[in-house]
Structures are given as C-alpha cells and as structure tokens.
Amino acid sequence: MPHNLRTLLAAIIMVSQTTVAAQSLPVPATRQDDPNMVQLIGQGLYSSITDPDLRVLWGLTAAGTLLALPIDREVMPYRHRLMPEPVARFGDLWGGQAAAITILPIIYLVDRSKGTATDETTRRLKFAFTSLVTVGTTTGLLKVAVGRERPNQASRTSFPSGHTSAAFGVAEVIRTLYGPRAGRPFYLAAVITGISRIHDNKHYPSDVIAGAGLGIGVVRGFKLAQQWAGHDHSLQLGVTGQAIGLLYYF
C-alpha cells in the first residue's frame, strides 16, 4: 500500500476515534461575556472534535470514505457521464468562489428584509464566518498532511475536496439559521459541486465524501458550541460497496 494512502487511511480513522477518546477531556468553562472571534473558533473547533452528538456523523464520514477507496479509480473512466458540462461548470464555480463570497451578504440581506435585530444578525454573521473559516483551514491542513495525488496528477492536494467542504459547509450554515426548506437549494448546489469535482478529474469519490462530511461536521460543531437551535435534517452523500448515493435525514 503506498505511503500516501496509508496516511490517508490513518487520518480518516483518527477522526473517527478522536470523537470517542475526547469524552474524557475537560469541558471548557462557559464565558459570560461575548466571546471574540478567536474564542468562537476555539470553542467551535473543540465542540466539532469532542461533542458526542457528532460521533455518528464522523463515523459515517470515515466509513463512507473507506468504502469509496476501492472504487475510486474504477469510477474515473466514466466521470464524463456524471453530469452535463454546463452543470459541472456551475459546481466548480459555486464551490470554488461563489458560495464563500455570497454567504455573508445573503445572511445580511435576508435578516434585513425580515427585520432581524442588529445584534442577532451580527451573531449569525459571526457564526457563518468563524465556522466556514475553520472548514477551509481544516481542509487545507488535511490536504498538506495527507498529500494524496489528484486524479489528474496536477498536485498532491486531493484529499479532502475543498470545493465540496466549502459548499456543504455553506449549505449547513443556511440550514442551521433558516431551516431545512431554505437549506435544500444550497444542499443541491453542494451535491452538484461534489459530483463536478469527480467529473472534472480533480478529485476521487472518497475525497468528495470526506469533504462533504467535514463541511457539515465542523459547522454542526460550531452550532452546538454557540447553542443554535437548528434543525436535524440534512442531505448527505452515502456509499455502499457498489454505489454512491444521496441520503436525506429527517
């Protein structure tokens, strides 16, 4: 087994095991004053790793990624059949730039149209910003640590898919703040983004599954840390021994 693949498997298994081991860690004290950005990121990251409510999600992400590894290279010759070229271009644009650029203005404009209090809008913007920055930073660190070569051999930053983690992170932010109905179009865009990365020969299916789980899991960790009363519905990628599919959890 190649060294980079051994490292990949170790990283996936470590994520799953950490959530169990972390139960013995001390819980950080709750601050009474309004935490700053650094504190919000620290609390959110801590919750993403240690909160027992996320154990199932991290376990499913690790299992799905592992199950996809054997079929990664088998899928790639058929990648052009996954979607039309214009749809793939949309997915690449959405996950690469559009989602991250538009999410904060979307929250601001929606809250303003609904007459949301300024303090509440600020809290929502902080939640979106800190959680998505952490998604991007964690994705980048994993890319460097794992060093998996892309299918097109352009670089060794294949695992996990950054476009996918960003798109699913944005979708989970919208779902948390505005409910599952508002989140559905964003989850659809995230699924298109993930599949487009395979279509474009930039990522393997396992990279996409790991990116989707990472984006959702980190944002949910921030939701738990900041005590958002969100909904427990989400659209997720699922993998069996023979197929890749979509699962909608009610």
The pair of three-digit structure tokens given for residue 24, joined into one six-digit string: 């013995």
Q: Is residue 147 within 8 Å of residue 7, measured between CB atoms? A: yes
| Pair type for strands 234-239 and 244-249 | antiparallel
Does the structure show a pLDDT above 60 at 192?
yes
Q: Is residue 182 within 8 Å of residue 175, measured between CB atoms? A: yes
Would you place residue 227 in the very low, low, confident or very high pLDDT band (cuts 50, 70, 90)? confident
Percent share of the chain, pLDDT over 70: 78
Q: Provide the whole-model pTM.
A: 0.81
Mean pLDDT of the chain: 84
Higher pLDDT, 185 or 34: 185
Q: Over the stretch 39-78, which tens digit does the pLDDT of each residue have?
A: 999 999 999 999 999 999 999 999 999 999 999 999 999 9
Q: How far is CA 194 from CA 80, 164, 211, in A?
A: 14, 5, 8
The structure tokens 């990648």 sit at 79
Does the structure show a pLDDT above 80 at 183?
yes
pLDDT of amino acid 5: 54
Does the structure show a pLDDT above 50 at 249?
no
Of 213, 103, 218, which is closest to residue 164 (Cα–Cα)? 213
pLDDT of amino acid 10: 54
DSSP state of 161: -
Structural Rg of the chain based on CA atoms? 18
Chain centroid to CA 27:
24
Torsion on CA atoms 213, 174, 30, 18, rounded to nearest 10:
0
CA–CA separation, 114 and 108 (whole Å): 10
167 sits in which H/E element: helix 162-178
User: Does the CA dihedral 5-72-201-87 come out positive or negative?
Assistant: negative
Backbone torsion region of residue 199, taken as left when φ is above 0, otherwise alpha when ψ lies between -120 and 50, otherwise beta:
alpha
Would you place residue 97 in the very low, low, confident or very high pLDDT band (cuts 50, 70, 90)? confident
Does the structure show a pLDDT above 60 at 241?
no
Q: Over the stretch 129-159, which tens digit does the pLDDT of each residue have?
A: 999 999 999 999 999 999 999 999 999 999 9
CA–CA separation, 55 and 203 (whole Å): 26
Domains in the chain: boundaries = 3-249
Percent share of the chain, pLDDT over 90: 75
pLDDT of amino acid 226: 87
Q: Over the stretch 23-45, which tens digit does the pLDDT of each residue have?
A: 333 333 344 467 888 999 999 99
